[in-house]
Amino acid sequence: MQDIAYLDQLAAKRHALQELWGAALPEELLADYTVAPAVEPFGYRLRMDYVCSDDRFGLRVRKRFYAIVDLQECHLIPPSLFPLLRTVYTAARELGIPDYNVYHNTGFLRYLVVRRNVRDEWLLSFVTSEQAYEAQMDAVAEAARTAGAASVWWLLNPRHADLSFGEPVKHWGAAHLPQYVLGRTLLMGPNTFFQNNVRGFEQILSYMTPFVAGADRLIDLYAGVGTIGICLAEHVGQVFAAELSDESVELAQRNIHLNRLDERVSVVRSDVAAVLDDARLARGSGNDVLIVDPPRAGLGPEVCGLLRERGPQRIVYVSCNALTQVVDYELLRERYDLVAARGFDLFPQTYHCEHVVVLERKAIA
C-alpha cells in the first residue's frame, strides 16, 4: 500500500475493522473506537526475509509465488541497512555460492534474513538447502561481519517447504541479538518469534497495562521469549508464562534472569490447551488476568472451549489477524462480554493490522 497516503491507509483499516466486528462491537465502544497510528510509517520493520533466486535478491510478487522482484531499495527497514544486505548478497554470488531456484527446488542459498533491534544492531541469517560450500560460507560470513552484522547464522532447510527458518549449522559473532522494549532487555535468536514493530508494540503494552495492573497473577500464553510477561511484571504479583518452542523457552528463561525477575516470573514449555486444562489455573484460583497473543490461525475451538469452561475473569486478546479473532470471540461470547477494543497499525504500508480486545467474564445468573 505504499502508493496510498498514510492517513487514508489508517482510515481504511479502521473502517474494515468496524465492518468486520459489526454488531459484536458494543455501541458504547463505537464513539471512541480507533486505530492507533504507527510511530514510524516507514523503516519500522525489525525483520525482513529476502529471497535469493536466479540472481534476484528481494521479495515475491503478490499472487505469483515464483516471481521475484529484484530490489535495489526497501522502505520497510532503515534506508542505510538495505545496501549493506545487498552488498553481502553480491559477495555471496562472487564467492560462487549458488542461489536457490524456487520453481525447480534446486540450488543452495534460499534466503537472507535480517533481524535488527531499535538501536540498529543486526543479526543476519543465511538459509540454505544443504550443508555445503563451507569455505565460501565462512568467507561470506566474514563479509557480513565487516558490513556491520553483530551476529551471523547459517540455518539449514533441506525440505521443499518454503521456510525462512532452519536448523542451526554454525554462527559467527554473538549468538543472540538484544532487543529493548520499555526499558527491558530481551535476547532473540535466528528462529525465535519477536514482534516486528517494537515501537508499535510498546503502544499495545501501554494500552494493556490498566487492564492488567493489580492482578495477583498474569498468565501469559504464547509467550515467545517472554516479552509481554517481562514488560508487565512490575504491575502484577506474579507472571506465569507458557510457550511450546524449546528455543523460545530457553531464551525466555535467560531473559527472566537477565531482567532480575526470577522471583516474579516463571515460564514452562507447554501446549496452551494443556495449560488451560491445569486445575491450578482454573477460574476462581485468584485475581488472574490472561493474555493471549496467538499466531494468525487464532485460538481455535479447543482452546476457546476450555476458556468458556474455566477461563479467568479477564482476558486480553492480542491478534495479528482480526478475522480469526472475531471467529474466536463468537465462540467465547456466551461466557464473555467485550469491554474494550482498539486497533494498532503495526504494519503500515500493508493490509495487516494488530487488534486488541478485552473480555470480561459474565456474571453467573
Active site residues: 320, 354
Residues 205, 218 contacting (CB under 8 angstroms): no
Query: Phi/psi of residue 8, each to 5°?
Result: -70, -35
Q: Which residues contact 358 (CB under 8 A, 6 or more apart)?
A: 211, 314, 315, 316, 317, 338, 339, 340, 341
221 exposure class (CB count in 10 Å sphere: 0-12, 13-18, 19+): buried
Which residues are CB-contacts of 254 (< 8 A; sequence separation ≥ 6)? 187
Q: Specify the residue for cell string 510498546.
A: 202
DSSP, collapsed to helix, strand or coil, labels residue 75 as coil
Q: Which helix (H) or strand (E) holds 251?
A: helix 246-258
Distance CA 296, CA 129 (A): 27
In terms of DSSP bridges, do strands 167-173 and 151-156 run parallel, antiparallel, or are they unpaired? antiparallel
Task: Give me 269's grid cell.
Answer: 514449555
- The whole-angstrom separation of Cα 214 and Cα 217 is 9
**How far apart are alpha carbons 52 and 90 in whole angstroms?**
11
User: Which amino acid appears at position 279 of this protein?
Assistant: A
Beta strand pairing status for 122-128 and 109-116?
Answer: antiparallel
